[in-house]
């Protein structure tokens, strides 16, 4: 849902946007999800969403691999599974659809395999 929320904005307004990240409810009916599905019958065929999923998987494995190789904490290895990371990743993927430079940087985080791609320092220097 956050991916589609991000698509609602123009990335030229990136510095002015106050993101409203969405974390879907589980175990109950989620009205936002139902509305999104009904308003977008081809939701699972959206090429941008599919690519965002592929790129997110790449980030997850890069994070997991670098921490596991260091014999680091499982908590850090699984950091990409945090709901805030998942939601913000999707939101930014939708938002940056029309800003090629920032879009490539966003998807390029997974290529930073020499270090943990989700450390605050890595994220700050890769903006």
Token couple for 7: 């698509």
pLDDT digit string, tens, across residues 5-39: 888 888 777 777 777 778 888 888 889 889 988 99
Q: Given a cut of 60, is residue 119 above it in pLDDT?
A: yes
Angle at 51 between CA 39 and CA 116, to 5 degrees: 125
DSSP 76-116: HHTGGGSHHHHHHHHHHHHHGGG-HHHHHHHHHGGG-TTS-
The span from the CA of 103 to the CA of 100, in Å, is: 5
The secondary element (H helix, E strand) that includes residue 69 is helix 47-69
How do residues 60-93 score in pLDDT, each as one tens digit? 898 888 888 887 777 777 888 888 889 988 999 9
Quick check: 10 and 98 in contact, CB under 8 A? yes
49 Cβ contact list (under 8 Å, min separation 6): 3, 4, 43
> Residue 115: is its pLDDT beyond 90?
no
Name the pLDDT band for 124 (thresholds 50, 70, 90).
low
Q: What is the pTM of this model?
A: 0.81
Whether residue 63 contacts residue 116, with contact meaning beta carbons closer than 8 Å, is answered with: yes
- Residue 92: CB atoms within 10 A of its CB come to 21
Distance CA 24, CA 127 (A): 27
């Amino acid at each position: 849902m956050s991916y589609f929320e991000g698509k609602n904005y123009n990335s030229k307004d990136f510095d002015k946007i106050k993101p409203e990240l969405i974390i879907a409810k589980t175990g109950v009916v989620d009205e936002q999800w139902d509305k999104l599905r009904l308003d977008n019958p081809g939701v699972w065929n959206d090429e941008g969403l599919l690519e965002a999923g592929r790129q997110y998987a790449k980030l997850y494995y890069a994070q997991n691999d670098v921490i596991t190789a260091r014999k680091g904490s499982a908590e850090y290895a699984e950091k990409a599974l945090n709901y805030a990371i998942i939601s913000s990743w999707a939101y930014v993927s939708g938002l940056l659809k029309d800003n090629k430079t920032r879009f490539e940087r966003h998807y390029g985080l997974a290529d930073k395999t020499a270090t943990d791609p989700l450390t605050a320092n890595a994220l700050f220097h890769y903006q």
